[in-house]
Amino acid sequence: MLDQEIYAGTVATVGKVLLVSPDDISPATNLERDLGADSMDILEIVFRLERQFGVDIALPVREAASVENLARYLHEHVHQSALATSEF
Amino acid sequence: MIASQPESSRQEAIELKAAWQRCRVRSRAEIGRILERVHFALVGQKYSEQEIFGVCLALEEAMVNAIKHGHRDRPGKSVQVRFHVDSEWVRVIVKDKGNGFDPSKVPNPCAVENLERPTGRGLFLMHAYMTWVRHNARGNCVAMGKCRQEPPALPKPFAWSEVESPGLAQQAPATAGSAGQKAHVA
């Protein structure tokens, strides 16, 4: 299941960078195919999401490019980094 | 599609899009023109000379790489450049129409066996001078960001009373630290 907070943050960022309403974005929305994003737009989204969630987005995920893939990756890595921090 | 967004976030998104400056470069001779524009924007936001030097160097390397390796110096193709400067971040994105490359396979120019190789330093310099560097999977687009440094704290105001005070010198024997401080002032 998708973390709703992370999903909403991802949708807001994608919408802001690509000038698309969040209402027109679903988990299956593909950034390139459905929203017309090019590689420059995607790297801009990556920059914003990395700052927003404090996570480095790995290279294959940058091209996987569905909103659900991005949100899932962020969910896993935000939680991993939170676990690593709590171990100290 | 944007019409159903709340007015404030819609306006913010439009301003964000407009804040990016877009240009194209076809040959190495045109690189200076882009660097001048970026330099002007950085000066306008009062970035330090050191930061401006680093950003311009990294951007120049990215554009040279795109023209030289991505387009093999063919002037018919253009490299896309976008940049955005605000009070916290400078961001640049450079994209060519070449086949791209795998940045992880570029040899480390600092390794002893590569010291005499004439290539591979551009990527190293980009990572050295910028805060954030990312490529797309194909390797024909690089995005870089430089976070503005906090200005250094101002030094403590100088006061003679802390340097030469015969009264204090009589009260306490001179330590190595205070002797060094006096020598420095002299």
- In one letter, which amino acid is B81? V
Query: In the structure, what pLDDT confidence band is assigned to residue A43 with cuts at 50, 70 and 90?
Result: very high
DSSP helix/strand/coil, B12: helix
pLDDT for the residue numbered B127: 93
The total number of structural domains that make up chain B: 2
Query: In the structure, what pLDDT confidence band is assigned to residue B164 with cuts at 50, 70 and 90?
Result: low
pLDDT for the residue numbered B109: 78
ipTM of the complex: 0.84
Q: Per residue in B27-36, pLDDT tens?
A: 999 999 999 9
What residues of B are in contact with residue A26 (Cβ under 8 Å)? none
| Together in a domain, B108 and B180 | no
Q: Per residue in B83-131, pLDDT tens?
A: 999 999 999 999 999 999 988 888 787 777 777 776 778 899 999 999 9
Contact A25, A15 (CB under 8 A): yes
Contact A43 B138 (CB under 8 A): no
Q: Is B135 on the interface with A (CB under 8 A)?
A: yes
What residues of A are in contact with residue B5 (Cβ under 8 Å)? 15, 21-23
| Together in a domain, B115 and B46 | yes
CB atoms within 10 A of CB A49: 22
| Together in a domain, B76 and B158 | no
Question: How close, in Å, is residue A2 to chain B by CA atoms?
Answer: 23
Q: Per residue in B52-69, pLDDT tens?
A: 999 999 999 999 999 999
Question: How close, in Å, is residue B31 to chain A by CA atoms?
Answer: 19
- What does pTM read for this prediction? 0.78
Radius of gyration for chain A, computed over Cα atoms and rounded to the nearest angstrom: 13
Q: Rounded mean pLDDT of A30-57? A: 92
Q: Where are the domains of chain A?
A: 4-86
Contact B80, B156 (CB under 8 A): no
Question: How close, in Å, is residue B23 to chain A by CA atoms?
Answer: 13
**Looking at the predicted structure, is the pLDDT value of residue B9 above 80?**
no
Lowest-confidence segment of A10-14, A66-70, B169-173 by average pLDDT: B169-173
| Host domain of residue B166 | 154-186
pLDDT for the residue numbered B17: 75
Contact B73, B19 (CB under 8 A): no
Classify domain A4-86 at the CATH topology level. 1.10.1200
| Together in a domain, B141 and B178 | no
